[in-house]
Chain A
Amino acid sequence: MNACCDPPVFEPPAASAGSSLRTVALIGPPNSGKSTLFNKLTGLRQKVANYPGVTVEQRMGVMAGIGRSDLTLIDLPGIYSLTPYSEDARVAVNVLRGRMPGTPKPDAVLLVLDSLHLTRQLMLAAPVLDVGLPTLVLLNMSDLMKSRGGQIDTLKLAGELSAPVAQISAVRGTGLGSVSLFLNQQNGHGEKNKPLLLPVLGNAASTHTWAAQVSRNTGYKAPLSAENTRRIDNVLLHRFWGPLLFLLVVIGVFEVVFALGQPLSDGFGELLARAGEIARPLIPIAWLQSLLLDGVWKGVCSVLVFLPQILLLFLFIGILEDTGYLARAALIADRVMRTIGLNGKAFIPLLSAYACAIPAIMATRTIENKRDRLATILVTPFMTCSARLPVYLLLIAAFIPNIYFLHGVIGLRTITMLSLYVAGFVAAFTTARLLKSSILRSSDTPFILELPQYRMPTLYSLGLRLMDRARIFMKTAGTIIVLVTLALWALAHLPVIHTATGALSAPQLADSLIGRLGHFIEPVIAPLGFNWKIGIGLLSSVLAREVMVSTMGTLYGADPSTQALNLQTALHHDMTLGGALALMIFFAFAMQCTSTIAVVRRETNSWLWPAVQFFYMLAMAYGAAFAVNHIAMAIWG
Chain B
Amino acid sequence: MLSELTVGEKGVLVALDLPENVQNHLMHMGFVPGAEVTALRRAPAGDPTLYGIDGMEIALRHETASAIQIRPIEIRSAATQAATIQPNAVQPNGIRPAESQPAKIRSSEVTTAQPNHESPAAPKRGSAIAPKLAEAAR
Chain B residue at minimum C-beta to C-beta distance from A453: B57
**A-side contacts of B33, CB under 8 Å:** 205
**A-side contacts of B63, CB under 8 Å:** 446
**Complex-state Cα separation, A157 to B91, whole angstroms:** 26
Q: Mark B19-37, 1 if CB is under 8 A from A, else 0.
A: 1111011111110110100
**B-side contacts of A447, CB under 8 Å:** 48, 59-61, 64
**A-side contacts of B55, CB under 8 Å:** 116-117, 119-120, 222, 225
Query: Known interface pairs A205-B33, A447-B64. Does A335 touch B46 (Cβ–Cβ under 8 Å)?
Result: yes
Which of A80, A237, A334 is in CB contact (< 8 Å) with B28?
A80
Which of B20, B32, B57 is in CB contact (< 8 Å) with A451?
B57
Query: Known interface pairs A205-B27, A233-B41, A237-B44. Does A331 touch B59 (Cβ–Cβ under 8 Å)?
Result: yes
The answer to whether A190 has its CB under 8 Å from any CB of chain B is no
**Complex-state Cα separation, A448 to B30, whole angstroms:** 13
Chain A residue at minimum C-beta to C-beta distance from B18: A446
Query: Known interface pairs A83-B28, A120-B30. Does A334 touch B48 (Cβ–Cβ under 8 Å)?
Result: yes
**A-side contacts of B44, CB under 8 Å:** 237-240, 242-243, 332
Q: Mark B45-79, 1 if CB is under 8 A from A, else 0.
A: 11110100011111111011000000000000000
Query: Known interface pairs A334-B45, A336-B45. Does A208 touch B27 (Cβ–Cβ under 8 Å)?
Result: yes
Please state if A120 and B54 are interface contacts (CB–CB under 8 Å). yes
Q: Mark A229-249, 1 if CB is under 8 A from B, else 0.
A: 000010001111011000000
Nearest CB of A to B50, in Å: 7
Please state if B92 and A203 are interface contacts (CB–CB under 8 Å). yes
**Complex-state Cα separation, A233 to B52, whole angstroms:** 14
The answer to whether A445 has its CB under 8 Å from any CB of chain B is yes
Which of B20, B26, B43, B90 is in CB contact (< 8 Å) with A448?
B26
Q: How large is the interface on B (under 10, 10 to 19, 20 to 34, 35 or more residues)?
A: 35 or more
Chain A residue at minimum C-beta to C-beta distance from B67: A446
**B-side contacts of A242, CB under 8 Å:** 44
The answer to whether A449 has its CB under 8 Å from any CB of chain B is yes
The answer to whether B93 has its CB under 8 Å from any CB of chain A is yes
Which of B25, B60, B93 is in CB contact (< 8 Å) with A205?
B93
The answer to whether B39 has its CB under 8 Å from any CB of chain A is no
Please state if A335 and B43 are interface contacts (CB–CB under 8 Å). yes
Query: Known interface pairs A80-B25, A446-B22, A446-B64. Does A335 touch B47 (Cβ–Cβ under 8 Å)?
Result: yes
Number of interface residues of A (CB under 8 A): 41
Nearest CB of B to A198, in Å: 14
**Complex-state Cα separation, A547 to B47, whole angstroms:** 45
Query: Known interface pairs A332-B43, A446-B22. Does A205 touch B54 (Cβ–Cβ under 8 Å)?
Result: no
Please state if B92 and A205 are interface contacts (CB–CB under 8 Å). yes
Query: Known interface pairs A209-B92, A448-B26. Does A85 touch B21 (Cβ–Cβ under 8 Å)?
Result: yes
Please state if B32 and A449 are interface contacts (CB–CB under 8 Å). no
Within 8 A of B (CB), among A40-91: 80-81, 83, 85-86
**B-side contacts of A385, CB under 8 Å:** none
Nearest CB of B to A97, in Å: 20
The answer to whether A619 has its CB under 8 Å from any CB of chain B is no
Please state if B54 and A119 are interface contacts (CB–CB under 8 Å). yes
**B-side contacts of A307, CB under 8 Å:** none
The answer to whether A279 has its CB under 8 Å from any CB of chain B is no
**A-side contacts of B48, CB under 8 Å:** 331, 334, 447, 449
The answer to whether B95 has its CB under 8 Å from any CB of chain A is yes
Query: Known interface pairs A205-B33, A449-B58. Does A335 touch B24 (Cβ–Cβ under 8 Å)?
Result: no
**B-side contacts of A120, CB under 8 Å:** 29-30, 54-56
Chain B residue at minimum C-beta to C-beta distance from A445: B22
**Complex-state Cα separation, A450 to B57, whole angstroms:** 6
The answer to whether A123 has its CB under 8 Å from any CB of chain B is yes
Please state if B58 and A451 are interface contacts (CB–CB under 8 Å). yes
Residue pairs across A and B with Cβ atoms less than 8 A apart, 5 shown, are A85-B21, A237-B43, A335-B43, A444-B21, A444-B22
Known: A334-B47, A335-B46, A446-B22. 16 other contacts (CB 8 A): A80-B28, A83-B24, A85-B24, A116-B55, A120-B55, A204-B32, A209-B90, A209-B92, A225-B55, A238-B44, A331-B50, A334-B59, A335-B45, A447-B48, A448-B29, A449-B48
A-B pairs with lowest CB-CB distance, top 9:
A204-B27, A335-B45, A80-B28, A85-B21, A205-B92, A81-B28, A208-B32, A451-B57, A449-B59
Instruction: Spell out B's residues near A (CB within 8 Å).
Output: 18-22, 24-30, 32-33, 35, 41, 43-48, 50, 54-61, 63-64, 90-93, 95
